[in-house]
Amino acid sequence: MQKSNATKLNRYPKIFSYLKKNFEDKSKNILSYGCSDGSECITIKNYFPNANIYGTDIIIKDSYDKDNIKYFPVKNFPNIKFDLIMINAVLCNFAEKGHSGWGWGPNTTTISNFNTFDKYINLVDKFLNIGGVILMTNANYLFTDSSVSHKYKPLEFTENINDYDKRKDNTTFLVHNYVPIYDRENNRIFPTTKPNERDTPINVFENFPKHYLFKKLS
């Protein structure tokens, strides 16, 4: 869904630190779904040095290994199950040229449809171990609306995981949550008070959605 491959090292330090603290001993195989140039994979390897790190993205055409990280095309998943899958700023969409970006346009032609989102969630579900965890940030839809959500238990962060960054105009944004959210019919449900990102108070993004972690129960 994501048309941009923009990324950088250690984008979500508080979230990565939280995952290391709470899931390192349970995470043998970790996948960065939508890994772009591999920066997130390298970051994950630094936090989880003893885990097997994998990355996949639509820009990857052939499987290869680099820096003890295994990369593979989205359509060619390896025959393994993962314990932790990270989907960060992937299941959202930059707008077409002339729109405001990240699904903030005046209509929903700037984003994909819910069925496409659900297809990707179903794909990663097939490769996640029971007891494994999905982290999903910056998505245009809610994980709890997906057709596999009944198999999962939402987990709450038990400490503050908010990291902030600056735009070019020096305004501040919440790194893991700055895209609008839509329901299954592509009606915008969040935020509802303002038309675009910059006019929405940052505390609104800090309080919704409530869950970004989901543990697979069956």
Residue 27 has pLDDT above 80, yes or no: yes
In a domain, 178, yes or no: yes
Give the pLDDT band (50/70/90) at residue 62.
Answer: very high
Across residues 97-122, what is the average pLDDT? 64
pLDDT at 136 over 70: yes
pLDDT in tens, 146-180: 999 999 999 999 999 999 988 777 878 888 988 88
166 forms beta bridges with 172
Structure tokens at 216: 């697979």
Which residues, including other chains, have CB under 8 Å from residue 170's CB and lie 6 or more apart?
none
Q: Residue 78: exposed, middle, or buried by beta-carbon count in 10 A (0-12, 13-18, 19+)?
A: middle
pLDDT per residue over 77-96, tens digit each? 999 999 999 999 898 874 43
The answer to the question of residue 2 being in a domain is: no
Task: Evaluate whether residue 194 is within a structural domain.
Answer: yes
pLDDT band (50, 70, 90) for residue 197:
low
CATH of the domain at 68: 3.40.50
pLDDT of residue 6: 60
Mean pLDDT throughout 117-129? 96
Indicate whether 202 belongs to any domain: yes
Whether 6 is covered by a domain: the verdict is no
- Does any domain span residue 4? no
Q: Is 3 a domain residue? A: no
Q: In this model, does residue 104 exceed pLDDT 60? A: no
DSSP strand pairing (69-73 vs 82-88): unpaired
**Residue 145 lies in domain:** 13-216
In the chain, how many domains are there?
1
d(CA 192, CA 54): 37
- Residue 43: inside a domain: yes
